[in-house]
Amino acid sequence: MMNATRGAHHSLRGRLLRFVLASILLAGLGLGITTYRGALRDADALFDLHLQQMAHTLRGSTMLGTTADGDYGEEGYDVFVQIWGPDGTQVFRSARAALPPQAVLGFSDATVDGTRYRVYSLQTPLQTVQIAQDMDARQSRARSLALRATLPLALMAPLLMLAVGWIITRSLAPVKRMQREVAGRADDDLSPLPEQGLPDEVRPLVRELNLLFRRVSGAFEAQKNFVADAAHELRSPLTALKLQAESLRRAGDEASREQATVRLQQGIDRSIRLVGQLLALARQETTTTPADDPRQSIDVETLVAEAIAAVLPQAQQRDIDVGLAASVPAQVKGQPAALHILLGNLLDNAVKYTPVNGRVDVSIASEADGTTVLRVEDSGPGIPEADRDRAFDRFYRAAGVEASGSGLGLAIVQAIAQRHGATVELAKSDRLGGLKVSVSFPAAAPAA
């Protein structure tokens, strides 16, 4: 398994070099072959033109009036000449040539005694000129010219490959520098990576890494706050539990023991609730969405009915009327478990701070822009306008309120609302006189 994983790794620099250098090599070979063949064709055409020009030159030569044997041509070209008079008498012939005895006007190919010739014949009223060139010598010279034409390309290809390799290495240097910087960081260093000097293809990756560092840093900070808050808030309940347990141990009669037992149970219940709220706050303050709790469409009226049913026993003990005052069909996108916690905390706070025989109303409204508003109103003392911003702080408790609590309810509500893109607003209830909490959920995006 380890070998398979190791084999799957590859170097971006290595891949770029292999692909680019292979492309240069293949392109160089293709261009070289094309250039070589083109040079051969050009040389062949040039030699034909040379034969034609020589024939036209010989047409006006002084040798055309006499019978003679001799050589004509340039060294390395092996050019041979035959000239006939108007009566068919041969007046000139190259000494070493064995050319065809009859001339075919224009260009032609001939083989004499195993030697191949390229022949050009020209006829005038006074003579016929036949000029030929040895094809082997001709092709050897053409190949030499073609090789000279492809030589610069053959020399440039390795230089181009070296230049491309250097450019790729230099272009990937910022990535290597970033890798060294990340590798050399301390475990707790989550500061953003610098984006200066990075290519456009790498900058989005570094930007996403910086966002990841920010989220991880926020998660670490939330953990630190949770530990600090838990240590601070659990100290008093645990001390109270210890004192109540000691009181139970010292109780001398049955009535005292019963009273001490009730107090101990109440203290345990408060501690359990505090720990539960601390854990809920720690979960909701994380910035990532849990994989096992995906967003889904939730019917708000069903959510409210379930939350009211959960808090109803507590409300009935104090003769508090809890119910759905107004409702419209509404759907929101969210995490059901988290929204149950949000509404449960709102109703729990409302019932806790509402006096006996009070009233708690829940309503669901829909705004013109598609916003869904969930409102919880009570007939309790409310929160003074000057303290409403502080009400979302952890462990905040309104002054002069007799009901006990951990002060985490609205902090949890705020954290869940932020994760769902919702806003929470505190105001005075005009109908009931107490606190009105409005949670506004944005309009759901239309299905694709």
Express each pLDDT in 305-340 by its tens digit.
988 888 888 888 889 888 888 888 888 888 887 888
Q: 46, 26, 27: which is closest to 38 by C-alpha?
A: 46
Residue 197 covered by a domain: no
Instruction: Read off φ and ψ for residue 397, nearest 5 degrees.
Output: -130, 130
Q: What is the CATH number of the domain that holds 45?
A: 3.30.450
Q: Which of 246, 269, 232 is nearest to 394 (CA)?
A: 232
Residues 319 and 430 in one domain: yes
70 pLDDT higher than 50: no
In this structure, are 318 and 252 located in the same domain?
A: no
pLDDT digits (tens, 9 = 90+) for 246-292: 777 777 677 777 777 777 776 777 667 666 666 666 665 554 444 44
Selected residue with higher pLDDT from 185 and 279: 185
Q: CA angle, corner 235, sides to 231 and 241, nearest 5? A: 140
Tens of pLDDT, residue by residue over 160-183, are: 888 888 888 887 777 778 778 777
- Of 76-90, 182-196, 268-282, 294-308, where does mean pLDDT reach its minimum? 268-282
- CA 362 – CA 374 distance, rounded (Å): 7
pLDDT of residue 1: 44
Bridge-partner residues for 79, per DSSP? 133
158 in a domain, yes or no? yes
Q: Is there a single domain that holds both residue 300 and residue 424?
A: yes
Q: How far is CA 229 from CA 143, 261, 267, 327, 410, in A?
A: 89, 28, 19, 38, 16
Same domain, yes or no: 315 and 270: no
> Is the residue at 171 inside a domain?
no
Residue 74, pLDDT above cutoff 60: no
Per-residue pLDDT at 85? 78
Whether residues 141 and 267 share a domain: the answer is no
CATH number at residue 278: 1.10.287
Q: Is position 367 within any domain?
A: yes
pLDDT, position 73 = 45
End-of-domain residue from the set 214, 249, 284:
284
Q: What is the mean pLDDT of residues 146-168?
A: 82
Query: What CATH number did the domain enclosing 437 receive?
Result: 3.30.565.10
Domain membership of residue 220 (yes or no) is yes
pLDDT in tens, 334-393: 888 788 888 888 888 888 888 889 999 999 888 878 888 999 999 888 888 877 777 777
Residue 98, pLDDT score = 60
Same domain, 237 and 155: no
pTM: 0.47
Q: Which of 146, 165, 184 is the C-terminal boundary of a domain? A: 165
Round to whole Å and give the CA distance between 234 and 247.
Answer: 20
The greatest distance separating any two alpha carbons of the chain, rounded to the nearest whole angstrom, comes to 161
- Do 1 and 141 touch, CB atoms closer than 8 A? no
∠ CA 417-422-427, nearest 5°, is 85
Query: Residue 386 corresponds to which tokens in the numbers above?
Result: 């000057």
Least confident of 180-184, 200-204, 223-227, 280-284: 280-284
Domain span at residue 312 reads 296-441
Given 284, 315, 338, the domain boundary residue is 284
Residue 124 included in any domain: yes
Residue 20 belongs to a domain: yes
| Total number of residues shown for the chain | 448
Structural domain count of the chain: 3
Stretch 56-83: mean pLDDT, rounded?
A: 57
**418: pLDDT strictly greater than 60:** yes
**Domain presence at residue 182:** no
108 in the same domain as 27: yes
Residue 401 and residue 357 share a domain: yes
Whether 74 and 158 share a structural domain:
yes
Does residue 106 share a domain with residue 37?
A: yes
pLDDT for the residue 292: 43
Q: Same domain, yes or no, for 141 and 262?
A: no
- Looking at the structure, tell me whether residues 54 and 157 fall in a common domain: yes
Q: List, in order, residues 6 or more apart from 321 with CB less than 8 Å away.
A: 315, 358, 359, 360
